[in-house]
């Protein structure tokens, strides 16, 4: 089962949405982007809750654009879950099967199988009001999958959960996805969640998909300024061209002069260089000995950010340029304003396309 969306469009005032994407069998495509970019509207267009003005929607090669929502067989899990409070867990999960006319014995079998996968055996007769937030999330996903939909759409379903429960539910969602070949589009504003759940990530801005790639690619090797700034895994600098060759371009930036590999993202009219966080190393006590390709930057310590599993130092480089450098958890925090040496691996630098070229 596959899902293909081609030029599916809708205009709301100043926002014009136009979708082009494809999701393979069993794949989870995570759709991310800033608030108001059109993520939820995109799901509603695909589900048929909003009528598209033009474009095509294909499921396994079949054009289903003209079908009403209830005939598209696309399951949508809303942010508020929309479970039926007057039905027990089993009847909530089996609701779509009942509508399809599936026999009672088969409905019961599918319900029990899904409850086992979601670690909720014996919950079929439980009332919705008796469930925790995490349990309700699982039931909503089970209901969506029970009727074997053509595609599964989820609109920030875990956003109301606390952090520990959210991590647990994510893992259970991944377990469910291993059992399902249904193409899935998962909307979230959480970058970490996108990286964990997505086989691929699609970044949306101003109603358009501006970049699609694996988690590794969009975080470490973004092709656009929009992606480089949104995912926050590095820094974008405006540069001036000093010269070049077929292999690399020499540029001048607020941090100094660099040699950057030439690629398709290079724009001589507005050259933008992306510095991934893994290109920066703290000198001194980290015992890192740079070789060819590294340059040394002088910086002043500004503040530290302790995130439990990692330590980030925010420093101020040349021309008051702010940078974030990952450090060992055992790094001793220096006084504010202390001088630091930063190694920059210029071999990891990349050009990115300016925003206006992406929209």
Q: Are residues 185 and 299 in the same domain?
A: no
Question: What average pLDDT does the segment 89-94 reach?
Answer: 90
Cα→Cα distances 39→31, 36, 204, Å: 7, 8, 7
Q: Are residues 209 and 325 in the same domain?
A: no
State yes or no: pLDDT of 173 exceeds 90: no
Q: Decide which of 225, 255, 285 is a domain's last residue.
A: 225
Helix, strand, or coil (residue 216): helix
Q: Are residues 269 and 308 in the same domain?
A: yes
The residue with greater pLDDT, 50 or 292, is: 50
pLDDT at residue 46 in the model: 96
Residue range 267-279, pLDDT digits in tens: 999 999 999 988 9
Q: Are residues 193 and 272 in the same domain?
A: no
Residue range 3-23, pLDDT digits in tens: 999 999 999 878 899 999 999
pLDDT at residue 211 in the model: 95
Query: What number of other Cβ atoms are within 10 A of residue 121's Cβ?
Result: 10
Helix (H) / strand (E) containing 142:
helix 133-146
Q: Are residues 130 and 202 in the same domain?
A: yes
The residue with greater pLDDT, 27 or 291, is: 27
Across the chain, mean pLDDT equals 88
DSSP 297: E
Q: Decide which of 225, 243, 265 is a domain's last residue.
A: 225
Sheet holding 15-23, edge to edge: 15-23, 3-12, 54-59, 62-63
State yes or no: pLDDT of 64 exceeds 90: yes
pLDDT at residue 239 in the model: 94
Q: Are residues 124 and 242 in the same domain?
A: no
Q: For residue 44, list its beta bridge partners.
A: none
Considering the chain, what percentage of its residues have pLDDT values greater than 70? 96
Give CA–CA dist 84/106, Å, rounded.
Answer: 21
Of the candidates 333, 330, 350, the one whose C-alpha atom is nearest the C-alpha of residue 233 is 350
Q: Are residues 246 and 271 in the same domain?
A: yes
Question: What average pLDDT does the segment 214-222 reach?
Answer: 91
Domain total in the chain: 2
Domain span at residue 244 reads 234-357
Please provide the DSSP assignment of 79-128 as one string. TT----TTSBHHHHHHHHHHHTT--HHHHHHHHHHHHHHTT-TT-TT-BG
pLDDT at residue 232 in the model: 75
Give CA–CA dist 333/336, Å, rounded.
Answer: 9
Give CA–CA dist 214/29, Å, rounded.
Answer: 9
DSSP 173: H
State yes or no: pLDDT of 218 exceeds 60: yes
Cα→Cα distances 231→31, 92, 190, 202, 213, Å: 13, 37, 10, 12, 13
Q: Decide which of 195, 225, 255 is a domain's last residue.
A: 225
State yes or no: pLDDT of 111 exceeds 50: yes
Residue where the block lists tokens 């292999």: 247
pLDDT at residue 181 in the model: 87
Give CA–CA dist 259/168, Å, rounded.
Answer: 44
Question: What average pLDDT does the segment 168-180 reach?
Answer: 82
Six token digits for residue 303: 């503040």
Name the pLDDT band for 357 (thresholds 50, 70, 90).
low
Q: Are 76 and 47 in contact (CB under 8 A)?
A: yes
Q: Are 22 and 151 in contact (CB under 8 A)?
A: no
Q: Are residues 260 and 154 in the same domain?
A: no
DSSP 318: G
Residue where the block lists tokens 């599918």: 110
pLDDT at residue 45 in the model: 95
Helix, strand, or coil (residue 225): helix
pLDDT at residue 289 in the model: 57
Contacts with 79 (C-beta within 8 Å, 6 or more apart), sequence order: 155, 156, 157, 159, 160
Cα→Cα distances 359→37, 90, 211, 230, Å: 12, 46, 11, 15
- CATH of residue 28's domain is 3.40.50.300
Q: Are residues 286 and 147 in the same domain?
A: no
Name the pLDDT band for 290 (thresholds 50, 70, 90).
low
State yes or no: pLDDT of 160 exceeds 50: yes
Q: Are residues 130 and 212 in the same domain?
A: yes
The residue with greater pLDDT, 339 or 162, is: 339
Q: Are residues 271 and 134 in the same domain?
A: no
Residue range 124-146, pLDDT digits in tens: 999 988 888 778 888 888 888 88
pTM of the predicted model as reported, rounded to 2 decimal places: 0.86
pLDDT at residue 286 in the model: 46
Q: Are residues 161 and 257 in the same domain?
A: no
């Amino acid at each position: 089962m596959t899902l293909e969306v081609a030029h599916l469009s809708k205009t709301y005032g100043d926002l014009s949405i136009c979708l082009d994407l494809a999701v393979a069998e069993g794949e989870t495509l995570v759709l991310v982007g800033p608030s108001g970019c059109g993520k939820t509207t995109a799901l509603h267009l695909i589900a048929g809750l909003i009528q598209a003005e033009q474009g095509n929607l294909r499921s396994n090669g079949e054009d289903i654009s003209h079908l009403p929502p209830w005939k598209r067989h696309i399951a949508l899990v809303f942010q508020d879950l929309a479970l039926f409070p007057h039905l027990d867990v089993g009847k909530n999960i089996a609701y779509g099967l009942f509508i399809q006319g599936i026999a009672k014995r088969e409905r019961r079998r599918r319900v029990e199988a899904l409850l086992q996968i979601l670690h909720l055996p014996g919950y079929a007769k439980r009332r919705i009001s008796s469930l925790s937030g995490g349990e309700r999330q699982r039931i909503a996903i089970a209901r969506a999958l029970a009727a074997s939909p053509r595609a599964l759409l989820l609109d920030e379903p875990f956003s109301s959960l606390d952090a520990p429960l959210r991590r647990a539910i994510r893992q259970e969602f991944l377990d469910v996805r291993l059992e399902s070949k249904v193409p899935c589009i998962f909307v979230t504003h959480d970058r970490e969640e996108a990286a964990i759940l997505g086989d691929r990530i699609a970044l949306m801005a101003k109603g358009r998909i501006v970049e699609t790639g694996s988690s590794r690619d969009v975080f470490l090797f973004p092709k656009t300024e929009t992606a480089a700034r949104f995912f926050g895994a590095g820094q974008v600098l405006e540069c001036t061209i000093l010269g070049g060759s077929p292999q690399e371009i020499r540029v001048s930036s607020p941090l100094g002069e660099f040699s950057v590999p030439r690629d398709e993202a290079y724009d001589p009219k507005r050259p933008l260089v992306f510095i991934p966080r893994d290109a920066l190393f703290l000198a001194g006590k980290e015992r890192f000995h740079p070789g060819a390709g590294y340059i040394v930057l002088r910086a002043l310590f500004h503040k530290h950010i302790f995130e439990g599993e990692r330590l980030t130092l925010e420093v101020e480089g040349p021309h008051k340029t702010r940078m974030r450098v990952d450090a060992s958890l055992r790094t001793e925090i220096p006084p504010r304003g202390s001088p630091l040496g930063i190694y920059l691996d210029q071999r990891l630098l990349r050009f990115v396309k300016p925003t206006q070229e992406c929209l």
